[in-house]
Amino acid sequence: MKISKILIAFLALSLVAAGTAWAATDTNTLTINANVANQATLTINSGSKTATILFVDSDPDITPSISSNPASLNVVAKAKTGSASNVTLTVTANGDLISTAPTAETIAISKVTWTASGTGFSPGAMAKNTAVPCGSWTGSGKYTGTYSYFLANSWDLPVGTFTQTATYTLTAP
Amino acid sequence: MLMAVLGLAPRASAQMPGVQLIVTPPNISFPKITGNMPVAAAPPLTVQVVAPGQRPWRLMVTAVGPLQSGEGAQIPNQQVSWQAGPSPAFVNGALSSGQPQLVGRGQGSKVGVLRFFLKNRWGYAEGNYSLRLHFTLSSP
């Protein structure tokens, strides 16, 4: 009886030992390659490529600085570049504010300013035919912010319906 | 009873035919990652397990580090996953840093197809990346 118990125990140990050892193996090595391309994508006003803001005439004594309508535009700048590369966003006004009726008039575009929110987005003032920095980041990423625009109001502004365009440029070297 | 004990030893040390693993091609490339594409898909990979009879086997894959560019930028290899078939022998999965992941298990010879996917993120630095994977086929 005693000898039988020992034999059973030995058999069990042998079976367990054989079951846990993976005795044959083979290996292969695979190399995976990926290319991440340089890229810059800019959208303004909820995913659009264009936006329009309006400054409504106001009493300069009451409203020395006219807020735009809409009050702000959201901006999303996306870039893939080197990890230490400087990503920049600039805005260039394509001239002064111009009215043709009832008479030809201009308002200096520098009277249009903006404030900014969001990491890397910066405030400033429009400049005719000059790229003004309005955002800066380091490396790849998706950067989200807003700009709120203002027109300096005064009694010496000429009468008219004024318009002008400005171009935002995102650069990821 | 002593003869029965001795009878186990020859079984434990018997010469079993080996297993063989063939993975082709040895290199695959994701398409250029651009735009808002959520995922890049590499061309399919053929995995051939050669095992005699109904010999059981297990296939694991281990990533050797992250996807790394020549400039030192890295993409975590958890961003890489695969779809595999035919099931149930071959299973879907995702890479894990330094941890072997199950690709398949079965009995006897089997041929499977794997397709790797890389998630696209705006946080990736520009560059050419590479990653080595070690496939290990084991059989008792």
What's the CATH code of the domain at A120? 2.60.40
Nearest CA in chain A to B34: A37
Cα angle at A56 between A51 and A60, to 5 degrees?
135
**Res B17: pLDDT:** 65
CA A12 – CA A10 distance, rounded (Å): 5
**Res B16: pLDDT:** 55
**Res B3: pLDDT:** 38
In a domain, A115, yes or no: yes
**Res A101: pLDDT:** 84
B122 and chain A in contact, CB less than 8 A = yes
State which residues form the domain around A107. Answer: 39-171
pLDDT (tens digit, 9 = 90+) per residue, A79-120?
Answer: 999 999 999 999 999 999 999 888 899 999 999 999 999 999
**Res B34: pLDDT:** 85
In a domain, A10, yes or no: no
Kindly report the nearest CA distance between residue A76 and chain B, in angstroms. 12
Nearest CA in chain A to B9: A14
Burial-class residue B25 by CB neighbours within 10 Å (0-12, 13-18, 19+). exposed
> Which residues contact residue A52 at a Cβ distance below 8 angstroms, ignoring those fewer than 6 apart?
none
Q: Do B29 and A33 touch (CB under 8 A)?
A: yes
Which two structure tokens, joined as six digits, stand for A145?
């912010």
In a domain, A31, yes or no: no
Q: Identify the residue with better confidence: A155 or B98.
A: A155
Amino acid at A70: P
Per-domain boundaries in chain B: 16-26+39-121
Percentage of chain A exceeding pLDDT 90: 82
**Res A46: pLDDT:** 84
In a domain, A155, yes or no: yes
Q: Average of pLDDT values for A55-63? A: 96
In a domain, A46, yes or no: yes
In a domain, A32, yes or no: no
Say if residue B84's pLDDT is above 90.
yes
- Report the sign of the C-alpha dihedral through residues B3, B7, B8, B10, in that order: positive
**Res B97: pLDDT:** 86
Q: Average of pLDDT values for A20-26? A: 67
B125 and chain A in contact, CB less than 8 A = yes
Q: Do B122 and A36 touch (CB under 8 A)?
A: no
**Res A17: pLDDT:** 34
Beta A166-171 vs B80-85: how paired, if at all?
unpaired
Q: What is the pTM for the complete model shown?
A: 0.79
**Res A9: pLDDT:** 32
A5 and chain B in contact, CB less than 8 A = no
In a domain, A7, yes or no: no
Q: Average of pLDDT values for A121-130? A: 98
**Res A18: pLDDT:** 38
Say if residue B11's pLDDT is above 90.
no
Considering only B2-6, B10-14, B32-36, B124-128, which range has the smallest mean pLDDT?
A: B2-6
Kindly report the nearest CA distance between residue A170 and chain B, in angstroms. 15
- Number of structural domains (chain A) is 1
